A and B are shown apart, each in its own frame.
Chain A
Amino acid sequence: MSGEILLQAKGVTKRFGSLTANRNIDLEVRSGTIHAILGENGAGKSTLMKMLYGVYVPDEGEFRMDGETVELHPPAKARARGIGMVFQDFRLVPAMTVLDNIALAEHGGGFRLRRKRLRERIREVSDRYGLKVDPDAWVWQLDLGQRQRLEIVKALMSENARVIIFDEPTSVLAPQEVEAFLDLLRRLRADGYGVLLITHKIREVLACADHVTVLRAGEVVWSAGREAGWDEAALVRAMIGDKSLQQVGRRNGPHGEPGGEKAPAEPEPFVTITGGVIKGDHGEMVLADVRLEARAGEILGVAGISGSGQRELAEALFGLRALAEGELRVAGRPMPADPRAFIEAGVTFVSEDPLRDSVIPGFTILEHMVLDGLPMKPKGAGIDWRGVREALEASGEARALALADPGRMADTLSGGNVQRMVLTRALLRKPKALIVSYPSRGLDIGTTRVIQQRLIELAESGTAVVLFSEDLDELLALSDRIVVLSGRRLHGPYRTEETDAAAIGSRMLKGESA
């Protein structure tokens, strides 16, 4: 590996509460190299980058530049040291011009704006790297690719910029733009910049990286230069790990060994989508040609890299989002896009963002239980809260999931406790179909196991479960069949016993940027 060391992380650890997002990370960025950081969602890539850019302070460990220990927090310090970052979610003001957006980030000190000098500098940077950024364009008129180029210009504006961090840069680019982007990275490398590329797309890594570091569960599991030799299979293995094969939780419930006693032959499809086209919040195509069957008594796993249409598909399955085309049926009946109809048909929903979608500020846990959970027991014109509490306590769910005291305000709960609350509620409902997103997010291993067990039992009692998860192990352990979202398509279903983590993983990664 060539080039001097620009930035070095030594033994860096970052914890959020009980979760260790990064553990003892060592990393080097050298000038004139592209260093790729690979990892699944939740592996700790973003946390690491945010520490390098000074957003977070590490709990342990240090950063070194030019041979001395440096303080990078807050980001202004990191920037002053020559570290720039191109964020995944752009930090731009749409109602302002390109020039003004850049001036916001970088006006070179002093009170006056010095537009003229800025404009010249923007032109200079933009021309040098063929970015074609017009300083006087309005940001709202730019498409995502152009906005990203603007972010890149922003990062390069500073004369002393040496390390540029790219956070999932190609996720917003069309396939033909990706090639141009990779060329840009190569040009930055030629100019002696140290490039840190966060990605989960192996193809890009293979195309341009000089060094690869793979993170899994917050730790560096693999780190090697190009000269050490690598291939796609090795990288996938490093990312996903082979521990999934020896996962203890797999089918330890009365769920049947692979190929063993299989519950009733070919259960009825309960929720079906045929010819489905699902569009995003801005009318963009998210998933086309969706064919999905969730059968009673089965868990259907949905795998995919984050942002592959999971949220939109989940919303469509609960009537929160209308299908642009195609048909959704529940128990054989076509459904309108109205959650009320889905609830009446016995479908229930656990959102991927319960803090936003489910938690009602100023309301107790108990009060949350009657919202698509326990029945709202009437008492005169009011609600018989004592009765609701008794029903909650009589059921085993609250205890099994270690639900917090029902009298507590839900908006004071930690993320894990919120998760317990919404899952308890969903289980209490005894739904005919359960659409559940990321059930184990934010939960400790013990509770995760309990929930997984409950989901299996729920399926066995005849519920159709659609399980969205970013944890392949979880999907493989729980699902009867798995579909994969990738490249605006829904692939599969694949029978769990006929596939493995590697096959699903490469499904998730490929079909993209191709």
Chain B
Amino acid sequence: MMRSNATAMTNAAAAAEPARRGLPPRAKSALMQAGLFAAPFAAFGVFLLFYGVNPIDLYVSMFTSAFGNRYGFGEVLIKATPILLTGLAAALPARAGMINVGGEGQLAIGALLSTAAAVTMLQAAPAWFGIPAMLLAGALGGAIWAGITALLRVKGNMNETITSLLLNYVAFYTVGLFVHGPLKDPASFNWPFSPPISDALRLPVLNGSRLHAGIAIAVVLAAAVWWVLSRTRLGFRIRVLGANAFAAERAGFRVSRMQLLTLVAAGALAGIAGMIEIAGIEGRLRPTTGANYGYLGFLAAWMAWNHPLRLVATSFLLGMIAVAGNSLEMNSGLPSSSVHILMALVLIFLLAGGRIGRGRRA
């Protein structure tokens, strides 16, 4: 039954174009959107049934773990924050016609640089100065890392998808090098992590949860990226470049400079995600700080068709699924990583339904 449901969806998608009878198009489109949202959960339900898990019970418990209380909801937002920022790091270059898979590495180097700044220079700094300074250091770290990709693209004509992806590994080991070496906490009994940053540098936290101010920063930045893309001359040029690079060149744009700028800005956004992970959650740098957020952000960006405001919603959705993964493990005995299947299904169905959403513009 689940399967026939899924088939019906694809058929509907195929038939949507030529003949739309019955319902008014708007209602039909809303119905399709709802169907596309439900379809991955249905398909994942089939998977759960194979493992003898009741999908309805599980979805209910997933839902309550994410929305049942303040703590759970806070966790969703905490997860959504870095996903949103690395999502922006993927979406912004995508609008300029480039694919940045390097959110992961840019986040890591952002975390590294902000931690380094925090533990070496800002230990005694007051919050009003220290937190912005740390944020800038994080942004700088991500920008530098993306800058490497950008330079290779602009000067060396190398594919930014490949270089940004490969630099993720370099970033991972660079962070490892520092937490095992120069940045290692002398009081750590040889565990690979940095000394803690000072309490003054921790982001303010909402009472009764771990929720910190990072989500506000991320949402503001998403709004800013949306504004730049849709409301400014620069954004217009970026979108022209992304939609037709030939046309951009023939209109006399400084294409290389724009590509460089966009990638560096994207890196800065991912770097800020790294800083938020340090200042909001971890308090110190570990080799695995922020791991996987870069890829989740990339996923979120694709799901949102690189639209910054929709990205807020898709990040939230992925954050919810990620939090629900914990309850999956506790309640059903499935490994928590099986939520990745659910995430992948969500992506697949959203991409399949892409034609519906694609017409909209920033």
Q: Enumerate chain A interface residues (CB-CB to B < 8 A).
A: 318, 320, 339-340, 342-344, 349, 351, 356-363, 367, 370-372, 376, 378, 381-383
Contact = CB atoms under 8 A, between A and B. Distances in A.
A349 B243 contact: no
Contact of B361 (A340, A362, A383): A362
Given A360-B244, A362-B361, A318 B232 contact: no
B233 A340 contact: no
A514 to B, nearest CB: 36
Interface of B: 231-234, 236, 239-240, 243-244, 246-247, 249-254, 361
A67 B254 CA distance: 63
B10 to A, nearest CB: 25
A361 B252 CA distance: 18
Nearest to B228: A381
Contact of B233 (A318, A351, A360, A378): A378
A378 B237 CA distance: 13
B249 A339 contact: yes
A372 B251 contact: yes
A381 B233 contact: yes
Contacts of A359: 244, 247
B240 A363 contact: yes
A357 B247 contact: yes
Nearest to B232: A381
A356 B233 contact: no
A362 B251 CA distance: 17
A224 B318 CA distance: 73
B243 A382 contact: no
Contacts of B240: 360, 363, 371
Contact of A383 (B233, B243, B253): B233
A358 B233 contact: no
A476 B254 CA distance: 38
Report which residue of A340, A371, A378 has the largest number of chain B beta carbons within 10 angstroms of its beta carbon: A371
B24 to A, nearest CB: 22
B250 A349 contact: yes
Given A339-B252, A340-B252, A383-B233, A358 B247 contact: yes
B243 A363 contact: yes
A383 B236 contact: yes
25 contacts: A339-B250, A339-B251, A339-B252, A340-B252, A340-B254, A342-B252, A343-B252, A344-B252, A351-B246, A351-B250, A357-B244, A357-B246, A357-B247, A358-B246, A358-B247, A360-B240, A363-B239, A363-B240, A367-B236, A370-B236, A371-B240, A371-B251, A381-B231, A381-B232, A383-B236
Given A363-B240, A383-B233, A358 B254 contact: no
B250 A357 contact: yes
Nearest to A358: B247
Nearest to A349: B250
A397 B135 CA distance: 52
Contact of B246 (A356, A376, A381): A356
Contacts of B253: 340
A342 B251 CA distance: 10
Contact of B250 (A344, A361, A372, A381): A372
Contact of A361 (B231, B233, B244, B254): B244
Contacts of B361: 362
